[in-house]
Structure 1
Amino acid sequence: MKPIEKEKIFLTQSYFKYPLPEEMLKELSEELKDINRYPSGGEYAKLRQVLAEYVGVNKENILPANGSDEVIEIVSRAYKGEVLIPIPTFSQYEISADRNGLPKILVNCLRDGEYVVNYSTQQLKSASLVWLCNPNNPTGTRVPREKIIDILQRAEGMVVVDECNYEYLGETVIDLIGKYENLVISRSFSKNFGLAGLRLGFAISNPKNIKKLAAFGQNFRVNRMAEKAATKVLKYLNYYQEVWEKMKRVKDKFVWQINEMGFSAYDSKANFVLVEFKDKEETERVWEYLKEKDIYALPGWEDEFSGLGDQFIRFTIGEEREMDRVVEVLSDYVKRN
């Protein structure tokens, strides 16, 4: 008899780990017969309209992209100059700055277990590009609306608010794009709708900024399947909303259980949870113990993050049985140590 393989639990990349709607997948598979054809390209008029209706703006406010990573790259190329990055945060802001030879200032915003964006007036005056991730990756921290407005008012350059986890947070500053000319927002279909493999993101801003950004993107920047998928997934918004609520419950339960063990789990508003341990040595022991039990999470020394210390591990929120297994293994670790 063939031995039963142990389930491997991957909680590294922060993608959508729940099943996708079967009918949606069936509809999308029917598009495969046309993959010999090019996507719309250029204006992407229909896709822009679909995305605009979803977020409540005009299609002239939308620029579709090959994932939010391309939004980051396009913005970096369009607004060259000094870049402000609030660490610890998503590493692509720093990587894109380096790739384009841009000077950068990494501002430490994490002190005593609390993440607070603390750009100085001088930094905001000198920077051409200011990054904000809301909720922040990897801490999952909410950046208050009043803080974002304060930065928009004080910044001389462009302010980009990465809202890739908007659907979990439920807060946005899209309504401010008409008031602040220096505001660009980035969104994604990867983490919230399960399309990470198709790569679909988009920028939201005033038409003038969108036109400028478009000049730095490729003509066929969104592939045909991603273009078709956007329309199809939004037909199943009720399903996704139910899953998002379930994920929040699983996440909150996980945070409480981790804190009860004596570790420090951050109050996350995203689909992941950052856990802080005593020091690097303990973090390495925990990480190795999890791997021995076929559980894979993302330690702070990985290149997913800019400025995150070695005493952290980030866990993507999976299905409840997966998170219960993580808690079971960590509880066993605590008993043994």
Structure 2
Amino acid sequence: MEARKVIKELDPYVPGRSEDEIANEFNVKKEDIVKLGSNENPWGPSKKAVEAIKKEADGVNRYPETDLHLLVDELASYAGVKSENVIVTGDGADELIDVLAKTFIEPGDEFITPLPTYTYYEFLFKPYGAVPVYAKWDLKNNALDVQSVLDAISDKTKFIFLCSPNNPTGTLVSEGDLRTIIEATDALVIIDEAYFEFSEQTQVNLINEYDNVFIIRTMSKVMGLAGLRIGYGLSNPDVIQYMYRIKPVFSLTRLSYVASLATLRDKEYIKESTAKSIESRDYLYQEVSKFKNLHVLESKSNFMLIDLHDSGYTAAELTNRLMSKGMIVRDCTSFKGIDEYYIRISVASLDDDKRFIEALHTLVD
């Protein structure tokens, strides 16, 4: 059977490499691998979340509860909004993006995405007939090119995606720039705050001022639940209620539900996880900045982008050399709007950070 034309033409999403892949390909012991490629929380989940999962394990023969009000209330409190402003999904932020498309996209609608950015926006929207229009991030100045976004707006624009901090550049979009864009259009402006905890900044106040703002968040990063895939969105009640009409009823599993509640209630874990991530990021930025042939972009996230143009390596070459030493980093060649000379590294423990820097010194000046 032939797939639809749009699916056959869709560029596949390229995920980061796993520890098992690297161990097998490069004959490296799995326990010696340092993983800096997937923007994960290297310190693990909340112990309270693990205990909650163990207690709930005997109930996985039952369907999940459909009444998520306890979790919605906790998320609303964490975000500083009302419960009516919250939607929870069970496949991370990716399900939010998919539900947005299923709820609002008509074939031929346009969506704006500045490049380079998280590629899954396009991957999920195009199958519904949405047409991408590209704006840009200014890599030289490490900032959003606001005018390129404004120039891309047309009467067909339905969504504008702004990742802040942006993946892979780590750049924040200022509140002033967001307001300029929001006020220039009736399109729904999607502010992806998957990494907002690391920046210690949020634009959640904008959902109370504008009807055309939607904020994406996830529990995969600072909250250490990437393996359970929990996302949540914040917007005005009308948008939220339309999305609930189409969202799969049982997309949030029983284990995800109890782990989410336990993590949100473990305030000390969230505080400590955030602090450790920022400490690691700042250390990595400081050390990579000392390399004369590398240029690292300052980041407000738990990762940073490194320019290799003067290093003598392409991203693929340096990535492979590092992986042979047990260091997993992200080759960013698959990101649209970027060439083959950028890698991304994410935070690890300070001990692993030091091992990475030592390995890098053996390859680059």
What letter matches 1:37 in structure 2?
R
Conserved? CA contact 1:28–1:232, under 8 Å: no
* Aligned-residue offset at 1:169: 1.2
Whether 1:101 aligns to 2:125 is: no
Deviation at 1:22, TM superposition (A): 2.9
- Kindly indicate whether the alpha-carbon contact (under 8 Å) linking 1:89 and 1:308 is maintained by their aligned counterparts in 2: no
- How far 1:167 moved relative to its partner? 1.0
The residue aligned with 2:300 is 269
Once residues 186 and 154 of structure 2 are traced to their aligned partners in structure 1, the CA distance between those partners, rounded to angstroms, is 5
> What is the CA–CA distance in structure 1 between the aligned matches of 2:98 and 2:208, rounded to whole Å?
23
Q: Which residue of 2 aligns with 1:146?
A: 176
The yes-or-no answer on 1:186 pairing with 2:216 is: yes
Which stretch of structure 1 is more off in the superposition, 233-242 or 109-118? Answer: 109-118
Q: 1:161 aligns with which of 174, 191, 194?
A: 191
Give distance in 2, aligned partners of 1:198 and 1:120: 34
Gaps of 5+ in 2: 1-27
Partners of 2:234 and 2:97 in 1: CA distance: 12
What is the distance in 2 between the residues matched to 1:332 and 1:255? 18
For 1:218 and 1:177, locate their aligned partners in 2 and report how far apart those are by CA, in whole Å.
Answer: 24
Give the paired residue count: 329
Distance 2:159 2:78 in 1: 27
Partner of 1:92: 120
Give the secondary-structure state (helix, strand or coil) at the position aligned to 2:134. strand
Indicate if the aligned counterparts of 1:138 and 1:274 stay in contact, CA closer than 8 A.
yes
Write the distance in 2 (CA, Å) between the matches of 1:156 and 1:122: 15
Q: Deviations over 1:115-140 (max 9, x none)?
A: 32323434234311000101000111
- Confirm whether residue 288 of structure 1 aligns to residue 288 of structure 2: no
Q: Where do 1:249-268 residues align within 5 Å?
A: 249-262=279-292, 263-268=294-299
Residue identity matched to 1:38: Y
> Counterpart in 2 of 1:117?
145
CA-based RMSD: 1.8
C-alpha deviations, 1:11-48, integer Å up to 9, x for none? 2211111133334312321111111121122x522221
- Opposite residue 99 of structure 2, the aligned amino acid is I
SS of structure 2 residue aligned to 1:84: strand
| CA–CA separation in structure 1 for the residues paired with 2:180 and 2:364 | 44
Equivalent pairs: percent with the same residue?
A: 26
Deviates more, 1:195-204 or 1:70-79: 70-79
When residues 120 and 203 of structure 1 are mapped into structure 2, their CA distance, relative to the original with a 3 A threshold, is closer
TM-score, normalising length: structure 1: 0.92
Which among 58, 70, 74 is matched to residue 46 of structure 1? Answer: 70
Task: State the one-letter code of the partner of 1:283.
Answer: A
Aligned residue for 1:154, secondary structure, equals coil
Asked whether the equivalents of residues 50 and 230 of structure 1 are also in contact (C-alpha less than 8 Å), the reply is: no
Aligned pair 1:59/2:83, yes or no? yes
In the superposition, relative to structure 1, how do residues 259 and 76 fare at CA in structure 2: closer, same or farther (>3 Å)? Answer: same
SS of corresponding position for 1:136: coil
Distance 1:301 1:222 in 2: 33
Cα distance change on mapping 1:188 and 1:120 into 2, 3 Å: closer
Correspondent of 2:100 among 30, 52, 75: 75
Are 2:42 and 1:17 equivalent residues in the alignment?
yes
* Secondary structure of the structure 1 residue equivalent to 2:226: coil
Structure 1 residue 331: Cα displacement: 0.9
Deviation at 1:309, TM superposition (A): 2.1
Q: Which amino acid aligns with 1:123?
A: A
Alpha-carbon contact 2:223-2:270 (below 8 Å) kept: yes
Give the letter aligned to residue 62 of structure 1.
V
Once the 2 structures are TM-superposed, how far is the Cα of residue 51 of structure 1 from its aligned partner?
1.1
Q: Secondary structure at the residue paired with 2:343? A: strand
Q: Quote how far apart the aligned CAs of 1:111 are.
A: 3.8
CA separation in 2, counterparts of 1:282 and 1:27? 45
How far apart, in 2, do the equivalents of 1:226 and 1:212 lie? 23
8 Å Cα contact 1:64-1:200 kept in structure 2: yes
2:178 partner letter: I
The one-letter amino acid paired with 2:163 is: C
- Aligned residues of 1:77 and 1:216 also touching (Cα < 8 A): yes
Which of the residues 197, 203, 210 maps onto 2:240? 210
C-alpha distance in structure 2 between counterparts of 1:154 and 1:253, whole Å: 39
**CA 1:162–1:227 in structure 2 vs 1: closer, same or farther (change >3 Å)?**
same
Aligned counterparts, 1:223-242, within 5 A: 223-242=253-272
Secondary structure in structure 1 of the residue aligned to 2:173: coil
Alignment of 1:282-321 (within 5 A): 282-302=314-334, 305-321=335-351
